[in-house]
């Protein structure tokens, strides 16, 4: 009888623990942007035990071309991965923010993380979005408590944001990043529509050109960011990651590179999260 009682107690303890770990939640929120002249929706992951009176590091998780703020939840399994990594101690409890920067159809809906005509997204992101989110969710507030990562268009956006604002982020994890558009890696069809505009903006904000042209002061600032490039061996954007990694090595900007088996798809990015979130966590400052 005692053995049965002990088993029941143990079982109850396991259930309690699992319930506790399941208390993380994802909130859908929005900000009315004066810069963009429109509301911008976003998802926010709040870890188990989230307390607004405490303070958390923040990770900005960016989506790719034609996706929205919902993609990382609906297709990438972000919450499941974050819960598991925090539970295992591989990742510190953090607020993870997934902003909207596009949608479908790509020829009719403006995509992208850079400033273009009638879409000053970079100005919005740094001038409105970061302050509003971090004040509202008790997160970030400094370089040492802030990271950025993303896939494809969002991977390229993450890299360029850290290049242009190295004082804002402790680390950058770029998954299958779209870093330039030379060679027409992403076909526009030659039409002067919104897909053409975002493709041109990626070319105009080339992460490769940035490193090639950087002076020593700029390179020194880049060295304050922890860099990680992760791309599949059969990904059509792989050459960009290889070139950027070599350029950074040549200019003595340390970066990590992983080329794993895979293509440009959600299976790859879901598994990449299991490396990306701990990477960001390791590079947060202990206190800022």
Does the pLDDT value for residue 183 go beyond 70? no
42-62 b/e (C-beta count within 10 Å ≥ 16 → b): bbbbbbbebeeeebbbbbbbb
pLDDT value at residue 9: 30
230 within 8 A of 260, measured Cβ to Cβ: yes
Q: What is the per-residue pLDDT across 125-178, written as a single tens digit (0 to 9) for each?
A: 999 999 999 999 999 999 999 999 999 999 999 999 999 999 999 999 999 999
pTM, rounded to two decimals: 0.91
Q: What is the mean pLDDT of residues 45-61?
A: 97
Q: What is the per-residue pLDDT across 213-270, written as a single tens digit (0 to 9) for each?
A: 999 999 999 999 999 999 999 999 999 999 999 999 999 999 999 999 999 999 999 9
Which percentage of the chain shows pLDDT scores above 70?
89
CA–CA gap between residue 268 and residue 253 (Å, rounded): 26
Name the least confident of 8-17, 33-42, 55-64, 110-119: 8-17
Does the pLDDT value for residue 187 go beyond 90? no
Does the pLDDT value for residue 19 go beyond 80? no
């Amino acid at each position: 009888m005692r053995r049965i009682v002990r088993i029941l107690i143990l079982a109850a303890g396991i259930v309690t623990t699992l319930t506790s770990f399941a208390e993380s939640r994802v909130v859908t929120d929005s900000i009315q942007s004066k810069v963009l002249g429109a509301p911008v929706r976003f998802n926010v992951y709040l870890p188990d035990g989230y307390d607004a009176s405490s303070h958390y590091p923040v990770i900005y998780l960016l989506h790719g071309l034609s996706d929205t703020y919902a993609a990382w939840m609906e297709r990438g399994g972000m919450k499941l991965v974050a819960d598991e990594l925090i539970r295992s101690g591989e990742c510190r409890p953090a607020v993870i923010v997934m902003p909207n920067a596009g949608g479908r159809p790509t020829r009719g809906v403006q995509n992208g993380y850079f400033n273009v005509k009638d879409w000053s997204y970079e100005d919005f992101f740094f001038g409105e979005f970061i302050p509003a989110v971090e004040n509202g969710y008790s997160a970030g507030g400094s370089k040492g408590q802030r990271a950025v990562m993303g896939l494809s268009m969002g991977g390229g956006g993450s890299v360029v944001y850290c290049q242009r604002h190295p004082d804002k982020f402790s680390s950058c994890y770029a998954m299958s990043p779209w870093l330039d558009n030379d060679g027409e890696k992403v076909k526009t069809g030659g039409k002067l529509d919104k897909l053409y505009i975002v493709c041109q903006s990626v070319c105009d904000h080339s992460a490769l050109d940035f490193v090639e042209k950087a002076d020593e002061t700029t390179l020194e600032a880049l060295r304050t960011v922890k860099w990680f490039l992760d791309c599949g061996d059969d990904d059509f954007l792989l050459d960009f990651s290889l070139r950027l990694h070599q350029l950074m090595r040549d200019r003595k900007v340390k970066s990590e590179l992983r080329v794993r088996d895979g293509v440009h798809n959600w299976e790859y990015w879901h598994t990449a999260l299991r490396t990306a979130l701990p990477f960001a966590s390791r590079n947060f400052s202990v206190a800022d």
